[in-house]
């Protein structure tokens, strides 16, 4: 499997990141990723990163996508969020699990960034439990002739504020199904959300669906596939993206920490020479390396379509988002007062890192899944390692 981005694509990504990095604070402050950045991402082909070439995408392998996500995410978390949402959660899921008709209707536009997509699962009363029997999902669908009628209220939907297409999960008496809803269908109302902790420029919004008539052909997979096969697959892709987003934030924070410690004098010496600061640097270097390797392992397993990729992705997401938070927090610590001020990137990285411990399955959800995997895999005490 190709592990590294081809050189021309890597150059394109590095150039784009160099353009984004100095502007990330401005996007964060304005709570808005400019359309022109979306256009840059589209022109670079990155919005179709993992979409097969036959549908207009770059057809990157999971490891190549990971490298791209790290490069973009290190420069700007909100731009990286566009990759997570539009490319991983929606386009990659449609490429894997939708009818040829849906692919023809939507995928080429999504792959080339002519239309932007978002993923609408969470609701005011339904989050981590959205797919469970006890979940309180209230967005419903009703079959009516050649259409499905959707009613409900979604929230915390990244990029809903600018999306043209929404992948909506809804239920009919506990039978979850997934639908592609065009933003301009009658009955779709988008209400922007301001004041987020992180991913501030990711056009977060609530979506209210009132009697939205969706053509039957926009049903993604079959009736009843919504949670188990569409939402779970979308989250499987999204978690992999977030795992790399953690590496990106942690690497950015590590570089800030080291650069500052190497030039800041206190007590007549560079603070990087103090052992307590060195402890933070050593832990950060070690943690970032470990997180990146866990992501690569998940990527290799995904590339082989191994069933182990699911647990490996959960482990990578849990670890790297935790590492991002810890390293970003230590970076604020090393920078002291400067770390608490928006004139330096540390405080923004600290906020962005926290988001990663919550989205695409909280750390607690990941811990539960990983513990279940551990009990299944290791309780028999005959584990001798996998090749």
Kindly list the residues in this chain that would bind another protein in the complex (CB under 8 A): 97-99, 131-132, 175, 221-225, 227-229, 232-233, 236, 305, 307, 310, 369, 372, 375-376, 379-380
Cβ-contact 220, 97 below 8 angstroms: yes
**How many C-beta neighbours within 10 Å does residue 265 have?**
9
Q: Pick from 114, 74, 120: which is nearest to 93 by CA? A: 120
In DSSP notation, 40-95 reads HHHHTTGGGTTS-GGGTS----HHHHHHHHHHHHHH-HHHHHHIIIIIIIIIHHHH
Q: Give 276's contacts (C-beta < 8 A, 6+ positions apart).
A: none
Helix ranges, 229-385 (H): 232-263, 275-303, 309-335, 346-356, 363-378
Q: 211: buried, middle or exposed (CB in 10 Å: 19+, 13-18, 0-12)?
A: exposed
Q: How far is the CB of 227 from another protein (least distance, A)?
A: 6
Q: How far is the CB of 184 from another protein (least distance, A)?
A: 26
**Given the residues 92, 352, 357, 360, the one annotated as active site:** 360
Only one residue has tokens 């988008």, namely 190
Q: Which is nearer to another protein, 203 or 317 (CB)?
A: 317
Q: Which is nearer to another protein, 15 or 129 (CB)?
A: 129
CA distance 290 to 284: 10
- Token pair in block for residue 228: 């188990």
Q: How far is the CB of 213 from another protein (least distance, A)?
A: 21
Q: Give 160's contacts (C-beta < 8 A, 6+ positions apart).
A: 118, 120, 154, 166, 190, 203, 204, 205, 206, 207
Q: 47: buried, middle or exposed (CB in 10 Å: 19+, 13-18, 0-12)?
A: buried
Q: How far is the CB of 372 from another protein (least distance, A)?
A: 6
CA distance 378 to 235: 25
Q: Which is nearer to another protein, 380 or 387 (CB)?
A: 380
* H helix or E strand, kind and range, residue 231: none
Q: How far is the CB of 174 from another protein (least distance, A)?
A: 10
Q: How far is the CB of 91 from another protein (least distance, A)?
A: 18
Q: Which is nearer to another protein, 307 or 385 (CB)?
A: 307
Q: How far is the CB of 127 from another protein (least distance, A)?
A: 16
- Token pair in block for residue 105: 């209707």
Q: How far is the CB of 49 from another protein (least distance, A)?
A: 21
Q: Which is nearer to another protein, 61 or 221 (CB)?
A: 221
Tell me whether residue 360 is one of the annotated catalytic residues.
Answer: yes
Q: Pick from 313, 323, 318: which is nearest to 358 by CA? A: 318
CA distance 198 to 27: 11
**CA triplet 18, 23, 29: central angle to 5 degrees?**
155
Q: Which is nearer to another protein, 228 or 262 (CB)?
A: 228
Q: Which is nearer to another protein, 73 or 131 (CB)?
A: 131
Cβ-contact 90, 51 below 8 angstroms: no
Torsion sign (Cα): 89, 237, 356, 249: negative
Q: Which is nearer to another protein, 186 or 307 (CB)?
A: 307
Active site residue ranges:
360
């Amino acid at each position: 499997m190709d592990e590294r981005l081809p050189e021309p694509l890597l150059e394109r990504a590095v150039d784009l990141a160099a353009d984004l990095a100095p502007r990330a604070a401005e996007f964060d402050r304005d709570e808005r990723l400019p359309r022109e950045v979306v256009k840059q991402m589209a022109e670079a082909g990155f919005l179709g990163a993992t979409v097969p070439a036959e549908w207009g995408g770059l057809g990157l392998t999971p490891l190549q996508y990971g490298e791209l996500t790290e490069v973009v995410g290190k420069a700007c978390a909100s731009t990286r969020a566009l990759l997570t949402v539009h490319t991983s959660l929606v386009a990659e899921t449609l490429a894997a699990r939708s009818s040829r008709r849906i692919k023809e209707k939507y995928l080429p536009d999504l792959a080339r960034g002519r239309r932007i997509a978002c993923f609408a699962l969470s609701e005011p009363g339904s989050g981590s439990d959205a797919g469970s029997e006890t979940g309180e999902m209230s967005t419903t669908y009703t079959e009516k002739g050649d259409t499905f009628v959707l009613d409900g209220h979604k929230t915390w939907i990244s990029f809903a504020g600018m999306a043209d297409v929404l992948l909506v999960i809804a239920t009919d008496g506990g039978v979850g199904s997934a639908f592609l809803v065009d933003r301009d269908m009658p009955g779709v109302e988008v209400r922007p959300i301001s004041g987020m902790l992180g991913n501030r420029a990711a056009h977060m919004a609530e979506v209210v669906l009132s009697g939205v008539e969706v053509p039957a052909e926009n049903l993604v997979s079959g009736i009843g596939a919504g949670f188990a096969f569409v939402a779970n697959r979308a989250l499987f892709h999204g978690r992999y993206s977030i795992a790399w987003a953690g590496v990106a934030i942690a690497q950015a924070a590590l570089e800030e920490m080291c650069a500052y410690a190497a030039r800041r004098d206190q007590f007549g010496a560079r603070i990087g020479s103090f052992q307590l600061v060195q402890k933070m640097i050593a832990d950060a270097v070690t943690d970032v390396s470990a997180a990146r390797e866990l992501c690569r392992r998940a990527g290799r397993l995904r590339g082989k379509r191994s069933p182990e990729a699911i647990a490996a992705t959960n482990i990578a997401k849990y670890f790297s988002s935790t590492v991002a938070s810890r390293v970003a927090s230590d970076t604020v610590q090393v920078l002291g007062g400067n770390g608490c001020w928006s004139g330096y990137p540390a405080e923004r990285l600290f906020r962005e890192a926290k988001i990663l411990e919550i989205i695409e399955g909280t750390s607690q959800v990941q811990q539960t899944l990983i513990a279940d995997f551990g009990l299944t895999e290791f309780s028999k005490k005959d584990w001798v390692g996998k090749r």
